[in-house]
């Protein structure tokens, strides 16, 4: 019997990216000017208080930005970049036929720009699609569910669909609440920041990490029941 495939699902803002890219863009381009839906900071405060969903906050905040998606994306150069070690981990996964996906509740356009600026090509991304001119952005949610509407995309759905593809072991890597939800269903999880607190509070096992050098070291050492290293893996990890 052949070994199971390994699918690694990586959150973007604050995980694959060293920064919260959405907030970086809003801080630079959102300003404090009031518009029909209020300021982006007022909307963020409402979201943090539980008065609106992430989906509502994100749509309202970015619809208040005056510049185009392309201008925002180009403006990310020098502002946002992948977390340390991420490129090496991508290379390791490619060399060892580990399937790595970005899964995020954030917007596809800025994920694509950050990866492009870093020279990372061909990485599958599950994100919120957006298009259109300033103040008239149109959003679509290819990975939402009826029970997880408020987050935009359901990371649990993406993880479960990965498992349904056959003999698959799944790994969730993240830093927040929506990542914790998926980590409960994964065969292994890596956690940083507030995701650790959620895992600790609910007894969900995880491997702590701060950057992807930590993640890569864990894979090279072996993750019981998920990934077993071999001399060939070591030689091709880059």
pLDDT 10s digits, 16-75: 999 999 999 999 998 665 555 568 888 888 888 989 988 999 999 999 899 999 999 999
Predicted local confidence at residue 36, as pLDDT: 53
| Mean pLDDT along residues 192-201 | 96
Three-class SS state of 140 = strand
Give CA–CA dist 2/203, Å, rounded.
Answer: 32
User: Residue 2 pLDDT > 60, yes or no?
Assistant: no
User: Residue 213 pLDDT > 80, yes or no?
Assistant: yes
* 204: its two tokens: 């969900």
Predicted local confidence at residue 238, as pLDDT: 45
User: Residue 186 pLDDT > 90, yes or no?
Assistant: yes
Predicted local confidence at residue 167, as pLDDT: 85
234 vs 180: which has the higher pLDDT: 180
Q: What is the CA radius of gyration of the chain?
A: 18
Instruction: Please tell me the chain's helix, strand, coil percentages from 3-state DSSP, rounded to the nearest 5.
Output: 45, 20, 35
Q: Across the chain, what does the average pLDDT equal?
A: 90
| Mean pLDDT along residues 96-123 | 96
* 96: its two tokens: 């060892």
* E-assigned strand segments in the chain: 5-10, 99-107, 125-131, 138-140, 168-174, 188-191, 207-208
User: Residue 225 pLDDT > 70, yes or no?
Assistant: yes
User: Residue 116 pLDDT > 90, yes or no?
Assistant: yes
Question: Could you tell me if 10 and 103 are in contact, meaning their C-beta atoms sit under 8 angstroms apart?
Answer: yes
| Mean pLDDT along residues 196-215 | 97
Record the pTM.
0.91
Question: Could you tell me if 7 and 189 are in contact, meaning their C-beta atoms sit under 8 angstroms apart?
Answer: no
Which residues does residue 131 pair with via DSSP β-bridges, in sequence order?
Answer: 138
User: Residue 175 pLDDT > 90, yes or no?
Assistant: yes
User: Residue 237 pLDDT > 60, yes or no?
Assistant: no
* 90: its two tokens: 């991508």
Predicted local confidence at residue 20, as pLDDT: 95
* 20: its two tokens: 């919260």
User: Residue 148 pLDDT > 90, yes or no?
Assistant: no
């Amino acid at each position: 019997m052949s070994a199971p495939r390994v699918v690694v699902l990586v959150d973007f803002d604050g995980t694959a990216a060293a920064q919260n890219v959405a907030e970086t863009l809003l801080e630079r381009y959102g300003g404090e000017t009031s518009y029909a839906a209020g300021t982006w900071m007022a909307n963020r405060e409402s979201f943090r208080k539980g008065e609106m969903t992430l989906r509502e906050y994100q749509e309202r905040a970015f619809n208040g930005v005056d510049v185009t998606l392309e201008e925002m994306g180009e403006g990310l150069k020098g502002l946002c970049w992948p977390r340390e070690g991420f490129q090496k981990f991508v290379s390791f996964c490619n060399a060892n036929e580990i399937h790595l996906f970005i899964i995020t509740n954030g917007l596809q356009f800025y994920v694509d720009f950050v990866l492009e600026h870093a020279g990372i090509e061909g990485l599958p991304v599950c994100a919120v699609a957006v298009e259109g001119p300033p103040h008239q952005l149109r959003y679509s949610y290819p990975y939402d569910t009826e029970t997880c509407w408020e987050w935009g995309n359901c990371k649990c759905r993406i993880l479960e669909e990965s498992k349904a593809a056959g003999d698959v072991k799944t790994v969730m890597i993240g830093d927040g609440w929506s990542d914790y939800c998926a980590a409960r269903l994964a065969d292994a999880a890596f956690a940083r920041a507030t995701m650790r607190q959620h895992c600790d509070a609910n007894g969900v096992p995880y491997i702590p990490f701060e950057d992807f050098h930590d993640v890569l070291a864990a894979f090279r050492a072996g993750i019981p029941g998920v990934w077993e290293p071999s001399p060939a893996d070591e030689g091709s990890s880059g």
